[in-house]
Chains A and B, each alone.
Chain A
Amino acid sequence: MNLPAAIPTATVILPHVLRAKIGNRKSVTVAGSTIREIIDALEHDFPGLRFNLCHETGELRPFVNIFLDREDIRYLQGLDTPVHTGTTIHILQSVAGG
């Protein structure tokens, strides 16, 4: 008998400006097999948070960067990038300036 695979959990670290939305914490642990599922889980636990990260069309906002263990997901598989248990995900705003 094959047991269903456990859904990976990851630690998501949010930028200061979004921490009020997660109870003024620095990070939360959520489950998801891809970055898209991680964002779905964040939205489930903290309604409204997805709109901070993504447009209504589902695409990542252009000046929001998500790093999976220090790799920018734009250079991986975007929102479909797989997530493994124990992963640390950083959500950051783009550098602004000259």
Chain B
Amino acid sequence: MSHNRTYTPGTVLVLVGTKRGLFLLTSKDRETWEVESTTLKGHRVFYSILDQRGGHRLFATDNGDFFGTFVRYSDDFGQTWQEPEQGIQFPENSQQKLENIWVIESGRPNEPGTIYAGVDPASLWVSTDGGQHWELNTGLANHPTRERWGPGAGGLCLHTIIVDPTNTSRMWVGISAVGCMRTDDGGQSWVFANKNTRADFLPEKYPEFGQCIHRLVQHPSRPDVLYQQNHCGIYKSLNAGEDWIDIQQNLPSEFGFPIALDAHHPDTVYVIVEDPNGRNNVSEQFTVYRTDNGGEHWQPLTEGLPAGPGVRLGVLRHGMCSDGKDPCGVYVGTNTGQLFATNNGGDTWRLIADFLPPIYSVTATVLV
């Protein structure tokens, strides 16, 4: 890019990871959006975040087709990128090789240098110096059941990381097709947290592990409240994952990938469900579903979203997010390159970008 990027506080920044690079969308009013590319082009960017704990550092998971897979970070909003001094690489004697880096998340606000990454083959990595050096979490890597973990269609990927902001010893991860796991001792040991979630594709429908979790989110003001989209249903936990409650209710499919929360209204959740065979909208109307009562009933949101016999849109697991504002902004990126947004909690939607490469992920941050 030819100009130095600066943005005023309050600007909403949406990072869009695609099959062919990372894009930025910015808006001061969530009405008018500017779309910019970054110099991270051509590679598969599964996920990206803006970490504002020590400035404005972008992190992106850069999954190259030829010369390897890397975490990269940028302190100038994507114009130049750095590579870690010690990146994510398995020990040579482990017989494991890095396939893809699926997700990267910031640590707690009082741990400004801590960053986590989840990869395929399923493992959790941590940096405590802002992304320059990475270490394998051995508690998870050496889990007693590790040899019995099997991949889903996307690989044996650790795709979701949740750091409990109120408990420095507690985290959750989501692994396909292993399920939800939790640590209560800072990552030294991990337990399964899959009770009452189904695995219809296994002989035992409610196993201890083996569930194909698709996405997991935590409510920011009620840390024991979790929601997950699963290969076999949509679930809520009120006790940090000790057990789960099926909240599929009136949704037209039990199959979908993304899930997002309204940070200001703990019972408001957004999901997109799909035809499990076509992996796109169930009917001819592309629809986002919202519950305002913690999953007792789901309302279809369609105003401004496309419909018709030629509408077949898919949304991947990281393809939907919210922005933390009130009213809630929600962003939905499709695997055919459209980005839809609402600035009123989902009542109406607009197409804010089109013709992008297939969208893998969206994350939204209000700049401080």
Any A CB within 8 A of the CB of B90: yes
Please judge, given known A-B contacts A48-B83, A51-B87, A51-B89, whether A57 and B97 are in contact too, CB under 8 Å: yes
Within the complex, which residue of B83, B91, B97 is in contact with A55, where a contact is CB–CB below 8 Å? Answer: B97
Q: When each residue 34-51 of chain A gets 1 if its CB lies under 8 Å from chain B and 0 otherwise, what string results? A: 000000000000001001
Within the complex, which residue of A52, A56, A58, A96 is in contact with B67, where a contact is CB–CB below 8 Å? Answer: A52
How many B residues touch the partner, as a band? 10 to 19
Any A CB within 8 A of the CB of B95: yes
State whether B87 touches A61 (Cβ < 8 A): no
User: Given the complex of chains A and B, what is the CA–CA distance between A51 and B87 in angstroms?
Assistant: 10
* A94 neighbours in B (Cβ, 8 Å): 66
User: Given the complex of chains A and B, what is the CA–CA distance between A94 and B66 in angstroms?
Assistant: 8
Please judge, given known A-B contacts A55-B97, A56-B96, whether A93 and B67 are in contact too, CB under 8 Å: yes
State whether A96 touches B65 (Cβ < 8 A): yes
State whether B98 touches A56 (Cβ < 8 A): yes
State whether A56 touches B92 (Cβ < 8 A): yes
Chain A interfacial residues counted at CB < 8 A? 17
User: Given the complex of chains A and B, what is the CA–CA distance between A57 and B98 in angstroms?
Assistant: 10
Tell me how far the C-beta of B135 lies from the nearest C-beta in chain A, rounded to whole angstroms: 15
Any A CB within 8 A of the CB of B68: yes
Tell me how far the C-beta of A55 lies from the nearest C-beta in chain B, rounded to whole angstroms: 4
State whether B68 touches A56 (Cβ < 8 A): no
Main secondary structure of the interface of A (DSSP, over half): loop
State whether A61 touches B66 (Cβ < 8 A): yes
* A63 neighbours in B (Cβ, 8 Å): 65-66
* B95 neighbours in A (Cβ, 8 Å): 57
User: Given the complex of chains A and B, what is the CA–CA distance between A96 and B42 in angstroms?
Assistant: 12
* B96 neighbours in A (Cβ, 8 Å): 56-57
Tell me how far the C-beta of A50 lies from the nearest C-beta in chain B, rounded to whole angstroms: 10
State whether B92 touches A51 (Cβ < 8 A): no
15 contacts between A and B (CB under 8 A): A48-B83, A51-B87, A52-B67, A55-B97, A56-B90, A56-B94, A56-B96, A56-B97, A56-B98, A57-B96, A58-B92, A59-B97, A61-B68, A63-B65, A96-B65
Binding site for A on B (CB under 8 A): 65-68, 83, 87, 89-92, 94-98
Q: Apart from A56-B98, A61-B68, A94-B66, what 4 extra A-B contacts exist at CB < 8 Å?
A: A56-B91, A56-B94, A57-B95, A63-B66
